Structure formats: structure tokens, C-alpha cells
A and B are shown apart, each in its own frame.
Chain A
């Protein structure tokens, strides 16, 4: 018997008992739909976590602190989630150029820069703005995939230049006017200009009333900078709320600031370094390698992993619930097939007597069960997509408040492989459910079946 004939005969048999076949298929539809929908919620959750973390910063970045530095410097940048896991020994390792060079040599690292943070005042004409400034090696911004919307990026050799985060341009205001009237959220000056004054003096440009008394006054230097660009993507905090300048220049400002404030400043070691990892998959390994050197590290990826592990746990539970309904469906298929065999005992006997091979009989029933699984799978997947659509549109506000609002724009995500896997799974479940009944049919004695008159 060739396979086409077997399939055609199987379909005929299924159509003969329409109600029962439909019920068995419905069981599979519900089972598959439950699994796919539940898993898709899990994927939606994972994606939601990723989306919200990407808004916080760059997932490729690892921040490095000297031991003991983390949490005590007051300069902690990423202090949410994950936690900075430090090395166990308390030996102080300096984060200096030598260490930076070693980090650069770690596999998977595509860019490293020491990082200096400061809060400086910027002046363009009568407009001033205070903002957090990050000093980095000028060539790394491009390596870190920080894109410039306007102007150009920093490059090696740049000295007194500044690249602004896209939100910082609206910080500029005219201190001589009242706050409310001048701050509109829209930038009032063009920051791409040669005439930027940078100073650690927070009272720069302020009206006389806001100036400190003569005796408390510290004399800060003022520097002339060139605004060269405004950052665009990736869309996160780093490219929005910080200004960037070459670290050498910023260190010089800090040094002279310390001098003016009569404090010491150590230029040879850094409080932080930023490490860019090409492939997000490698972030963990790179972090571990850096920790082994005696530093502490922190990355959003640590947080992401914790959150995704949570999402996976939830997904496993949800998938388990779905699996139970598919198990019930499998029992339904087995029951349908057993009933069908009881009913068709005589037919099976007749087929054997007029020459059906034993394996053909088994195949006939296996394929019947497989078709129930396959058809149920296809319809179940269709229904899942529909359900997914409803969850992502009509039910989005309800569900996202229920599951805590991971921040994702979608509740349910069905990756392409999921329907394929589900279809394969449902077919296999069908065939497996039909296996024992099919064997029973094959082993029925032709004679016994015929006597069943």
C-alpha cells in the first residue's frame, strides 16, 4: 500500500466519524493554543525586560571599578539590579593605564576607556547649563556605537571638544531671566559652536544675587570648548543626559579644580572604566575575566540575565500549564483511536483477509492519529496568533498591569520557530497517542474480527 493511499484512507475514516474527530482535534487545538500562548507570554516578558533595560543603557557595556570603589565612591552609575559582584580578596588593584591595557586584551572586548565623571557648567553666550560630563578616550564613542545625529563624533586627537547628549541641549537657559519663562524643554541655543565656556564654577553666568560672598569664593578657571556633535542613538540614558569630552582634558580640568579647592587629585588611576563587548553573549565571560584581575564589574547584562531567568521561570510554569492541556488532548486522541478500533474491528479483519499487510494496518491508524495531531496543531497555531493579537492590542493595558508591567510594548511574542515546533510536537503527540491503539489493531486476529458479526 503506498503512502498516498494510506493517507487518503485515513482521512476518509476520520471524516466518517465527524463529531468524534472534531472533538479530538479540538482537544489538540486547545492544548497547542495553550502551550503557544503561554510560551509567547514568556517571550513577551523577556523582550519587555530587554526593552526596558535598553532604555537604561547599553547592554554591550561593562563598567569596571577598582575593588572597594563600588558603592563607596559616590560615583556609582549603574546601581540597580544585578549588583556589582566583586572579587573576594581585598587586595587593592589600581585601575590605571596598565590595567586598561590588560582589559583591552581580553577576548571579546572591542573597546575600553577609562572614565572620569564631573559636573560642569557650560556657557554659550548668555545661556548656561550644568550637566554631568563624562570623560572618555575620544576615539571610543564611535567604537561604542554612539551615533551622532548632528555634527560629528569625537575622534582621536580631539582636545577641547564636547559631544552633547540629545536631552542636554535643552538644559541651556538664561539665568538672568526667571526660570519659568526661559525653560521650555526646547533647545534655545545651537550647541555646535566654537564659543563654549566650560568651568567647574557652578555660579558662572549667574546674576549677582546668586554669586557667593567674596571671601568664600574659589577662583576657578574657565576653558574654551568647541561643541562638535549631538548624540542620537542608541536611545538610552547614556546618549541622552550626559555630555562627553576627551578624558585628558577633563582630567586637567579636575586637577586644576582640585588645586583651586586645595584638594589632592590623583591622575594616575581612574575611578571607573567602560568596556564595550561586541557580542552581548560574551558580556558575562568578559565580566568574569575582569573580576579575576581584581576589579569589580557591573553591566546591565547582569541585570538582564537575572530578569530573564525570572522570565524563564514564569515561562516554564506557564508552559507547564499549557503542557497539561496538551496531555489531556493526547489522552483524547488515544481514546478516539481506541474507540475507533473497537468500532472497526470487523473492518480491520476484512482488510487483513483480503490482503492488507500488518504494517499497513498499523500505519493506517498511526496516520489517522497523526492527522488529528497535525490538523489540531495547525488550527491551534492559527488560534494562538489570533489570541496573541488580542493580547497585544485589546488586552494590553489589562494584562500589563496584572503582570506588573514589564514595560514591553507587546505581551505576547511568537518567535518563528515556535509554530513550527508546535506543529511538529502536536503531530508527534498524535502519532504517539495512536501508537498503542494502532498496535492493537495490527494484532487483532482477522478471524476473531470476522466472527464479530
Chain B
């Protein structure tokens, strides 16, 4: 485990303006996440957990505070730079899979590589490898509409890992799945992350998901309420707040 944290979040505050009213989504959050760690952010709807994820992914800018990933001050990057940064370093898994319906499974998985300008032969090979890893061999030419939710989410996982990003964000990855499929999908995600020494950040309201995490961060009303260390090997003891 690296000494220096891969993700450093320092005194981040996010305030939304809704007309005259100010809504504080995140109050003052600081925490470090290390390489190879699986961190689960647990909270109810409106707790601020999604806002936290969005800011770490560079989708939103904090009102105040710093977000440093691998030495890069993500909060200072402009949209184009942050897109490039995401392209190279971050994989996303969504609740509703968000696969492109006009593309086949193989094409959906290669999409991040297409954006990165990887040549066709190489990206097909990489995508096939990812498909094998999530158990989707033989589904190359299927379209999302011809697949079950669990299969679609496996495509989503393959798409997130295909470019070997350092960090994978998963926003309610099992929100649309039944408990049996949830277990299947989570096991695949964790296995992949562990094998590749990637960092996984899961945002969920589902306590069962937190079982898979090294650390579980409970968020409430824009503040970190509690950090629970489940697995010493994966996480750190650092206390926040």
C-alpha cells in the first residue's frame, strides 16, 4: 500500500443555489483514499454521497476545498482537461447501466477505448478480455435490449474496467438488480478490482453492499458521520473530522 493517498479530499464544501435559497450538499468533508482500497459511501438519498462522488470524478466543482488525485488538482482542471483525466484514470459503473442502445455489447465495451483513439484491433482484443473477465463470452453481438439487467450491468462493468483505469466509481451499481444478481455483480466487481489493484469507490444506500468494502463511510447531511474499517489490509485507519 502506498504511503501517500491516491485521492485526497481536503475540506470540501458544496453549496447549491436554488433561487434565493442555499442548499448545503456537502458541509466540510476531508478524507484520503488509498490505492487498492474499496471504499463504500453509505447514506440516504440527499445525504450528499452522490455529490461527493461527482466532485471526486470531476463532474462537479466544489464550492470550496481541494480534490487531489494522483497529484493532480482535479478541482482546478477545465472541462476539457478533466475529460481527458477521466478518460485515462477513471471507470464508471452506473445504476441504470447507461449502455448505448444502438451499439452491440462489444462496441459498448470498446467505447471508452474509441474515445481514447485506441486502434480497432487492439481495442477489440482488450474488450474481449474484459468480457471474458465478467463472464460475457459469446454475447459480443447482442444489443443491450436483448439482455437481462444483470447481464447489462456486467457489460457496464466490462466497460468500466476495459481501459484499466486506476479508479472505478460505482454509483448504486446494484440499485436495479435483485438480491441474487446483486451478489453476483458485486462479486465480479470486487474480484476485478482486487486482481488489478484498482481503487473502487461505491456509493449506495444498501447496507449489504458495504460488506464488500474495506472501509464504509457513512454520510449524513453533508458530513461524514462515521468511518468503519472492515478490512485492515485494504484500507487505512485515518480518521476524518
**Residues of A near any B CB (own CB < 8 A):** 1-2, 5, 9, 12-13, 15-16, 346-347, 350-358, 360, 446-447, 450, 453
Annotate B125-157 by CB proximity to A: 1 below 8 A, 0 otherwise.
000000000000000000000000000000000
Which residues of A have CB within 8 Å of B117?
1-2
CB atoms of A447 and B102 under 8 A apart: no
B112 pairs with A355, CB closer than 8 A? yes
**B116 and A355 contacting across the interface, CB-CB below 8 Å:** yes
> In the complex, what residues of B have CB within 8 A of residue A351's CB?
100, 111, 115
Query: Are A353 and B92 in touch, CB under 8 angstroms?
Result: yes
Q: Which residues does chain A contribute within 8 Å of B79, judged by CB atoms?
A: 358
A321, B115: Cα distance in complex, Å: 44
Q: A1-B117, A2-B117, A358-B80 are in contact. Are A353 and B111 (CB under 8 A)?
A: no
Give the contact-size bracket for chain B: 20 to 34
Among B84, B95, B100, B112, chain A packs the most CB atoms within 10 A around the CB of: B100
Known: A5-B114, A353-B59, A353-B86. A12 touches B94 (CB 8 A): no
B77 CB, nearest partner CB in chain A, Å: 13
Residue of B nearest to A446 (CB): B59
CB pair B83 A356 closer than 8 Å: yes
State in angstroms the CA–CA spacing of A16 and B102 once bound together: 6
* B103 contacts A357, C-beta separation under 8 Å: no
CB-based A-B contact count at 8 angstroms: 62
B63 at the binding interface (Cβ < 8 Å): no
Chain A residues with Cβ under 8 A from B163's Cβ? 355
Within 8 A of A (CB), among B57-103: 57, 59-60, 79-80, 83-84, 86-88, 91-92, 94-96, 98, 100-103
Give 11 A-B pairs besides A355-B87, A355-B116 with Cβ atoms closer than 8 angstroms.
Answer: A2-B117, A15-B102, A350-B98, A354-B115, A354-B159, A355-B83, A355-B86, A355-B163, A358-B79, A358-B80, A358-B83
Among residues of A, the one whose C-beta sits closest to the C-beta of B57 is: A353
Q: A353-B92, A358-B80 are in contact. Are A346 and B98 (CB under 8 A)?
A: yes
A-B contact pairs, 13 of them (CB 8 A): A5-B114, A16-B101, A346-B98, A350-B98, A351-B100, A351-B111, A354-B111, A355-B86, A355-B116, A357-B83, A357-B87, A447-B54, A447-B60
Chain A proximity of B18: nearest CB distance (Å): 14
Task: Please measure, in the bound complex, the distance between the C-alpha atom of A355 and the C-alpha atom of B57, giving whole angstroms.
Answer: 11
CB of B102 within 8 A of CB of A13, answer: yes
Are A356 and B115 in contact, CB atoms less than 8 angstroms apart? Answer: yes
**A345 CB to nearest chain B CB (Å):** 12
- Asked if B115 contacts A357 (CB within 8 A), the reply is yes
Beta-carbon contact of B57 and A1 below 8 Å: no
A16 vs B144: C-alpha distance in the bound complex, in angstroms?
14
Q: How far is the CA of A346 from the CA of B159 in the complex (A)?
A: 17
Asked if residues B102 and A352 are in contact (CB atoms below 8 Å), the reply is: no
Most buried by A among B59, B88, B92: B59
Nearest-neighbor residue (CB-CB) of A17 within chain B: B102
Check if B115 sits within 8 Å of A360, measured CB to CB.
yes
B17-40 interface (Cβ within 8 A of A): none
The answer to whether B159 touches A453, judged by C-beta atoms less than 8 angstroms apart, is no
Chain A residues contacting B103 (CB-CB under 8 Å) are 12
Top 8 closest A-B pairs, CB basis? A355-B87, A350-B98, A355-B115, A16-B102, A12-B102, A447-B59, A356-B115, A354-B112
Tell whether, in the assembled complex, residue A1 and residue B114 are in contact, meaning their CB atoms are under 8 Å apart: yes
Shortest beta-carbon distance from A440 to chain B in Å = 15
Q: A347's contact among B54, B91, B100, by CB below 8 Å, is which?
A: B100
| Complex alpha-carbon distance, A16 and B145, angstroms | 13
